[in-house]
Structure 1
Amino acid sequence: MHNKAFLKYVFDDELYVINEAQRKVAQGPNAEYSKTEEAEKKEKQVMEKTWPISFKGQNAKNIIILVNYPAEKHISNQDEQFLLKILSAVSLSLQDVAIINLAKNECSIDRLKDFNSSIVLLFGEFENIPGLSNYEIKTVEGIKFQKANSLREIQNNVPEKKLLWSNLQKLFL
């Protein structure tokens, strides 16, 4: 089959023809489909840098929201609705942020840097994040952090809503 013109109607992506010489790895003819050590090392580095974390949102503005919901994949519906109201008050939407449930994912400063985070909002109790007080903005390695009580607690507490609103204005407005 030499006429490959029809392939553009079958596949949306670009296609590349790889001949037998390109397929063989430098290790010899019996290692046609094996990877070189260098290729395996590069693949491992890429895998270590990828964010193997499940998150909700598009993260268009590199804003991470860390929550703690052991019974949910990301966030409860009720708290998500409240969070969306908070975000809209500072002209943000779900497309602008990534909501990460720390009850289901591990996180570190390095991972946040790999994710190009500029601001991280924490809602709830987190045992593994020392040195952050509620309603205090703190910059750590170029990332601004703001920790607060859980969204459920804030939703029913006017003084805490005011504290959160004050910090959100400093961060976003």
Structure 2
Amino acid sequence: MSTQLPGFIIAGLYKDSLVLVEETTEQIIPAKKQVQNTNKSPNHEVTPPPQPKKWFLGDNKKNITILLKDPDAVHINDEWLGTLSKLLAACKLNLADVAIVNLKENHSFADIKQQLQPQYVLMFDVSANDLSLPFSIPNYQLQQYGGCAFMTAPAVTLSADKTTEAIKTEKRNLWEKLKVIFNV
């Protein structure tokens, strides 16, 4: 059975394709170039361009960047995330306010600054040298640079372990500095 569709139906089916043709007096030559709209889905709705892969955890609503190195986690391991969530809550913040970046992959400070626009950068077992910054700072000291306030701390402060006096002291030092930074 052979069915021929009316011209307006065929035109409707191919309305998102443009075929350029050159006409001569003797014949129609096929198009040299075919242009298609690639931003439309088959049902002709405009689809947004693909988003780049998100390389940090959180929504960065308050431009606070937390840098760490955890080779076994995508962003941060569960133990550290639990401790960090409690610290953030005590500072009247949450994960939506921050961007957690795992530096197991190389991210330059220029990339971090351009994409996240941090006001505060909290670094856990990350040195200024790891970011190719022109300074070094001791743990729990605030350093201003490039419109950001930087602070470093050992990653043990994110552990759930509170068994030794040394770990308790580190956690206390971190909390004291966070209270100053976030006016808690």
* Residues 34-113 of structure 1: pairs in structure 2 closer than 5 A: 54-109=55-110, 111-113=112-114
Question: 1:18/1:119 Cα in 2 relative to 1: closer, same or farther (>3 Å)?
Answer: farther
Aligned to 1:145: 150
Report how many residues are paired.
138
Change over 3 Å in CA distance of 1:115–1:18 after alignment to 2: farther
Which ranges of structure 1 fall in alignment gaps of 5 or more residues?
Answer: 3-16, 21-28, 34-49
Could you tell which deviates more after superposition, 54-63 or 154-163? 154-163
Tell me which stretches of 4 or more aligned residues in structure 1 moved more than 3 Å. Answer: 17-20, 29-33, 50-53, 151-156
TM, length-normalised to structure 1: 0.66
Normalised TM-score (structure 2): 0.62
Q: 2:139 aligns with which of 125, 134, 137?
A: 134
**Whole-Å separation in 1 of the counterparts to 2:161 and 2:113:** 27
Q: 1:91 and 1:78 mapped to 2: Cα distance?
A: 20
Q: CA RMSD in A?
A: 3.1
Between the aligned residues of both structures, percent identity stands at 29
For residue 100 of structure 2, give the secondary structure of its aligned residue in structure 1.
strand
- Which residue in the other structure is 1:43 paired with? none
The answer on 1:162 being equivalent to 2:172 is yes
Cα deviations across residues 134-161 of structure 1 (Å, max 9, x unaligned)?
1111011110011000044685312112
After TM superposition, the structure 1 stretch with the greater mean CA deviation from structure 2, 107-116 or 143-152, is 107-116
Which protein has the bigger helix share? 1
Max radius of gyration: which structure?
Answer: 2
The runs of 5 or more residues in structure 2 that have no matched partner are 1-7, 10-14, 19-31, 37-50
Counterparts of 1:99 and 1:79 in 2: how far apart (Å)?
Answer: 11
Alignment check: 8 A CA contact 1:59 1:98 kept: yes
Residues 1:158 and 1:62: Cα distance change in structure 2 (over 3 Å): same
Partner Cα distance (2:70, 2:16) in 1: 48
